């Protein structure tokens, strides 16, 4: 969607989200490089390891702000429904995975993948809504 087709809340969301994602990439690359090059320990290692999480957590806040700033109730409702589908799917996968781990059938995935996985599920849920809309129009 081009920026001129977005409402004010969507434009503000985009202006907040993109710099955070660029910051995430920069901090991820920098922290990984510094950890590899310096082999830090203690508080410095903890700090460097946590740095990439800061902009990701900020994007979660940006999602919440978008929902409060979106004045179109239909659009807001669609986002909330997609977010709930994504959350439900993530919780279902985590629950099933936990039982597989209990039976020593599955290993432990990195926990930092939970949020990106939720984002993918959120996008899929939005796509599912669009497909359902198109199918409903044909009926």
Taking only the tens place, the pLDDT of each residue in 54-82 is: 999 999 999 999 999 999 999 999 999 99
Determine the Cα–Cα distance for residues 93 and 30; give it in Å rounded to an integer: 31
CA distances (Å), origin 28, targets 51, 54, 58, 133: 7, 10, 15, 38
Of all residues in the chain, what percent carry a pLDDT higher than 90? 95
Q: Where is the domain boundary, 11, 43, 71? A: 71
Q: How many CB atoms lie within 10 A of CB 6?
A: 13
Q: Flag whether pLDDT at 131 surpasses 80.
A: yes
Q: Within this chain, do residues 76 and 105 fall inside the same structural domain, yes or no?
A: yes
Determine the Cα–Cα distance for residues 108 and 73; give it in Å rounded to an integer: 40
Q: Would you state the pLDDT for residue 76? A: 97
Determine the Cα–Cα distance for residues 6 and 129; give it in Å rounded to an integer: 19
Q: Within this chain, do residues 61 and 8 fall inside the same structural domain, yes or no?
A: yes
Distance of CA 120 to the CA centre of its chain: 7
The DSSP letter of residue 39 is: -
Number of separate domains in the chain? 2
Of all residues in the chain, what percent carry a pLDDT higher than 70? 97
Q: Within this chain, do residues 66 and 77 fall inside the same structural domain, yes or no?
A: no
- pLDDT tens-digit readout, 2-60: 667 999 999 999 999 999 999 999 999 999 999 999 999 999 999 999 999 999 999 99
Q: Within this chain, do residues 60 and 99 fall inside the same structural domain, yes or no?
A: no
CA distances (Å), origin 91, targets 10, 81, 87, 96, 118: 27, 15, 6, 9, 10
Q: Within this chain, do residues 46 and 110 fall inside the same structural domain, yes or no?
A: no
Q: Where is the domain boundary, 25, 48, 71? A: 71
Q: Within this chain, do residues 61 and 118 fall inside the same structural domain, yes or no?
A: no
Which two structure tokens, joined as six digits, stand for 17?
Answer: 């989200």
Q: What residues make up the domain containing 84?
A: 72-139
Question: Looking at the chain, how many residues does it have?
Answer: 139
Closest to 20 in 3D by CA, of 72, 67, 66: 66
Q: Flag whether pLDDT at 137 surpasses 90.
A: no
Q: Within this chain, do residues 43 and 17 fall inside the same structural domain, yes or no?
A: yes
Which two structure tokens, joined as six digits, stand for 37?
Answer: 């090059």
Which two structure tokens, joined as six digits, stand for 70?
Answer: 């979106």
Q: Within this chain, do residues 76 and 127 fall inside the same structural domain, yes or no?
A: yes
């Amino acid at each position: 969607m081009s920026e001129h087709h977005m409402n004010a809340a969507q434009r503000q969301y985009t202006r907040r989200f993109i710099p955070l994602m660029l910051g995430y990439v920069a901090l991820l690359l920098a922290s990984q490089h510094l950890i590899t090059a310096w082999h830090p320990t203690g508080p410095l290692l903890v700090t460097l390891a946590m740095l990439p999480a800061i902009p990701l957590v900020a994007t979660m806040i940006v999602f919440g702000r978008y929902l409060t700033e979106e004045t179109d109730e239909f659009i807001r409702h669609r986002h909330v429904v997609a977010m709930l589908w994504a959350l439900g799917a993530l919780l279902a996968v985590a629950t099933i995975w936990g039982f597989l781990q209990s039976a020593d059938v599955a290993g432990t995935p990195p926990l930092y993948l939970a949020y990106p996985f939720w984002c993918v599920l959120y996008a899929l849920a939005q796509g599912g809504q669009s497909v359902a809309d198109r199918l409903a129009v044909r009926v």
